[in-house]
Amino acid sequence: MAGERKTARELIEAGLRDTERCLSQKQYNSAMIRARQTLEYIVKSLCRRNGVPEGDLSVMIDDLYLQGIISKDSCANYQKIRLLGENAVSRADNNAYNANNAYQLLSQEVYAYQSRAARRERRTNSTPARRSGSPRASAPRQDSGFNFNPFDLLKIVIPILAIILVISVVRLVRADHPKETTAAEVTTEAPAETTTEAPETEAPETAPVMIYTTRTSLNVRSAPSTDAELLTTLPAGTVLDFVGAYNDEWSIINYNGGQAYVSTKYVDVQEQTPGTP
């Protein structure tokens, strides 16, 4: 309906789509202006939720950072989107690079905003359960970057235990028949020594190995979000213990005995054949 009022989330999602559409149509000036408008929806929504007074956009962004509502990186991204949009209005900036930069930063911050909103909804939905006095309600709630599920752990542990059990059984069977195994090996290997030695000189097949390194200094976080805990910063050229892609923006790596997340766009991939320098 034409008179229906949209929620902040709907306005933000529509703004991101409009920015992408303007970018695809090479309307770079309009894309930066739309990105700034969408940013304003995000900032005002966060201010209303957290009791921050509304006013000048730049001041609201700084207040959100000073009160710990957004991270330092998000604060810098917000201010950059704001400046690009204001330059598009005041200076008629129509630069493609600036428009692409505004869209990429906006996409990242919309994702972070949606993640915060999802966590807030989960906390709100869990409140009645805690008041009901049920056994589940009295259990402590873990609200961290990783949502631990014991059933997921069992899915991993049970197959591993099954493999270990099979290996143990095979070793016990071999230990019970040492003489038979030795005889079989002697009778089958003796003719091979007199006929041909080709298998010993045949070069092993090699498969290419993918090497993942950091393009620049790269932040390692506990979850796929710039709001997540910063575990460390790796220098440029660091070889990563790459696990796989989380989504289009984040990749999973092994770090310090667990898994962590890095921004995919700052990771270089190189194919290397084993044995080559």
Give the whole-angstrom CA distance, residue 250 versus residue 144: 18
Residue 22, classified by CB atoms within 10 Å of its CB into exposed (0-12), middle (13-18) or buried (19+), is buried
Please name the residue that has the structure tokens 């202006």. 33
Give the whole-angstrom CA distance, residue 126 versus residue 121: 9
8-123 is classed CATH 1.20.120.330: yes
126: pLDDT strictly greater than 90? no
Q: What is the mean pLDDT of residues 183-201?
A: 49
Instruction: Note the pLDDT of residue 157.
Output: 81
Residues of the chain with CATH 1.20.120.330: 8-123
93: pLDDT strictly greater than 70? yes
| Mean pLDDT, rounded, of the chain | 82
Q: Provide CB contacts within 8 A for 55, sequence distance 6+.
A: none
Instruction: Note the pLDDT of residue 142.
Output: 47
Give the whole-angstrom CA distance, residue 83 versus residue 249: 24
For residue range 137-168, list pLDDT tens digits in order: 444 454 444 455 666 777 788 889 889 988 98
Q: Are 218 and 266 in contact (CB under 8 A)?
A: yes
3 state DSSP class of 203: coil
Chain centre distance of CA 96: 27
Kindly state the DSSP code that residue 264 receives in the 8-state scheme.
G
Percent of the chain with pLDDT over 90: 53
Q: What is the mean pLDDT of residues 37-64?
A: 95
Residues of the chain with CATH 2.30.30.40: 209-272
201: pLDDT strictly greater than 60? no
For residue range 98-121, list pLDDT tens digits in order: 999 999 999 999 999 998 888 887
Among 3.40.50.11540, 1.10.3720.10, 2.30.30.40, 3.40.50.1370, name the CATH number for the domain at 209-272: 2.30.30.40
Please name the residue that has the structure tokens 């575990």. 231
The structure's pTM equals: 0.45
Give the whole-angstrom CA distance, residue 35 versus residue 27: 12
For residue range 230-274, list pLDDT tens digits in order: 999 999 989 999 899 999 899 999 998 889 999 998 999 888 776
183: pLDDT strictly greater than 50? no
Question: Angle of helix 96-131 relative to helix 72-90, nearest 10 degrees?
Answer: 140
